[in-house]
Amino acid sequence: MESSRRDYLSWGRVHRYPHQVAVPGFADGAEGALAAAIGAGQTVLAYGLGRSYGDSCLNEGQTLIATRGLDRFIAFDPVAGELECEAGVSLGAILELLTSRREDEPRWFLPVTPGTKYVTLGGAIANDVHGKSHHAQGCFGNHVRSLRLLRSDGAVRDCSDVENADLFRATIGGLGLTGLVLSARIALQKVPGFWLDSEDLRYSDLEAFFALSEESATDWQYTVAWVDCMARGRALGRGVFTRSRHSAQRPASVGAPLASRPRVAMPVDLPGFALNRFSVAAFNSLYWRRCARMPKRHLRAIDPVFYPLDAIGHWNRLYGRRGFFQYQCAIPTAAMRACIRTLVDRVAASGEGSFLAVLKVFGDRPSPGLLSFPLPGATLALDFANRGGATLALLDELDCIVRDAGGRLYPAKDGRMSGADFRRGYPRWDQLASLADPAFSSSFWRRVTADAPMERAA
């Protein structure tokens, strides 16, 4: 066990806490670290690649078990398309494995991948991540066949649909609270090729976005839109809609479909003033104009479609030392049109513009997870430089709009929602509370359950 250290942060870099950190290289080391933490009277939380934005991957003053050393593949079945690996394997490593296989073998791909490949398998399960394929494939948890969970009683539980099923469902989207995921077996999707047939369509307002989403739902496996959230009035919600699907073709130029390392990296924090309403508005306007008026269709590699930001290592440093907040909400279908309009308008009016605003319509496939974030409807993700009280006040206002629409926020992105909003958005939270391992906790979990009425607390 190490002494207390302050270098384990979440991606938003707002929450800066001391932690005891253990970095086991093997499962037996993880068992030892867990026992040692319990012996020291500490609670424990797994920490993967730190891509959660707020405090859901942090455990202030307590112990983190970093899983990056638990990164081995266990078995790959190229006929059934199933892959079993340890929890610290990154999705990037999985894609590297899948894309480097021989050309004459069937091609397998992750059915669900979030906006970065630098997340671990354990993190993808704990947050039940979703991606551009949600309308077609559901959540990551829809494709988890089984997992092995280390509990604080020292036992390892095999969990699946048929074995320890309640623990299985609680662990998917369970924010790491049910124990330490040691390994998992996932189902892959067979694809015709790794390159993507991809189209960028510039659209002029929110109605056009919803029309494009509907029209693309059946033939395009991956859809997402970038929204210019500085545009108001008739242009409100304008943006670029990107739809893609796997293709058997490959481009004429030789090259790998997957990038191995970031091309460039932010070596230091950008000064806090660099991203201001003028630079963000200029970026948004430029990005919108750069996309041609006529739809552009081409064959693209994996990274520019799924992971555009991974090309810049440590892009979170763009927001300076004070860090930034992500705000991602899901709004049910009935209210989504009006609510997204109100949200975008409110953000545009505030001038606290976000230059990464992402909008997507979810499908209606339910995840097995108890606390999964997606719901049939739409999701809007925004980020905001941390300017202290002003930023928090704006986010509180957005909360009211989301609450009125019956929506909820994504814990993986959150570092400030109220306990009441969390419990309203995730009414099954008390089931997770009763299945959670008593030795596991997180800053997020303590924050959103601290003010729960006594009779509901587990």
Q: Compute how many residues bind other proteins; rule: CB under 8 A.
A: 20
Binders of other proteins among residues 95 to 134 (CB under 8 A) are 97, 100
CB-wise, 79 or 252, nearer to other proteins?
Answer: 79
Q: Nearest approach, Cβ of 367 to other proteins (angstroms)?
A: 27
Q: Nearest approach, Cβ of 163 to other proteins (angstroms)?
A: 22
Of 131, 122, 138, the closest CA to residue 175 belongs to 122
Residue from 16, 18, 23, 31 binding other proteins (CB under 8 A): 23
Q: Nearest approach, Cβ of 88 to other proteins (angstroms)?
A: 12
Angle separating helix axes 389-404 and 333-350, nearest 10 degrees: 160
Residue 24 binding other proteins, by CB under 8 A: yes
Residue 27 binding other proteins, by CB under 8 A: yes
Whole-number Å distance between alpha carbons of 36 and 46: 14
Q: What does the block give as tokens for 289?
A: 């104009």
Q: Nearest approach, Cβ of 35 to other proteins (angstroms)?
A: 16
Stretch that binds other proteins, among 22-30, 43-51, 135-143, 320-328 (CB under 8 A): 22-30
Residue 17 binding other proteins, by CB under 8 A: no
Stretch that binds other proteins, among 18-26, 198-206, 221-229, 428-436 (CB under 8 A): 18-26
Angle separating helix axes 333-350 and 206-216, nearest 10 degrees: 140
Q: Nearest approach, Cβ of 66 to other proteins (angstroms)?
A: 9
Q: Nearest approach, Cβ of 183 to other proteins (angstroms)?
A: 10
| 423 in Cβ contact with 447 (< 8 Å) | no
Q: Nearest approach, Cβ of 23 to other proteins (angstroms)?
A: 5
CB-wise, 78 or 366, nearer to other proteins?
Answer: 78
CB-wise, 105 or 455, nearer to other proteins?
Answer: 105
Q: Nearest approach, Cβ of 365 to other proteins (angstroms)?
A: 29
Question: 46 burial class (0-12, 13-18, 19+ CB within 10 angstroms)?
Answer: buried
CB-wise, 69 or 406, nearer to other proteins?
Answer: 69
String marking each residue 37-76 x if it binds other proteins according to CB under 8 A? --------------------------------x--xxxxx
Which residue, chain included where needed, has tokens 């660099």?
274
String marking each residue 368-387 x if it binds other proteins according to CB under 8 A? --------------------
Q: Nearest approach, Cβ of 72 to other proteins (angstroms)?
A: 4
Residue 321 binding other proteins, by CB under 8 A: no
Residue from 7, 103, 104, 455 binding other proteins (CB under 8 A): 7
CB-wise, 75 or 400, nearer to other proteins?
Answer: 75
Give the alpha-carbon dihedral of 285, 316, 195, 111, to 10 degrees.
-120
Residue 28 binding other proteins, by CB under 8 A: yes
Q: What does the block give as tokens for 130?
A: 């979703």
Q: Nearest approach, Cβ of 295 to other proteins (angstroms)?
A: 39
Going from the C-alpha of 364 to that of each of 135, 142, 374, 376, 417, the distances in angstroms are 7, 12, 9, 5, 25
Residue 312 binding other proteins, by CB under 8 A: no
CB-wise, 100 or 333, nearer to other proteins?
Answer: 100
CB-wise, 5 or 277, nearer to other proteins?
Answer: 5
Give the binding site for other proteins (CB under 8 A): 2, 5, 7, 22-29, 69, 72-76, 86, 97, 100
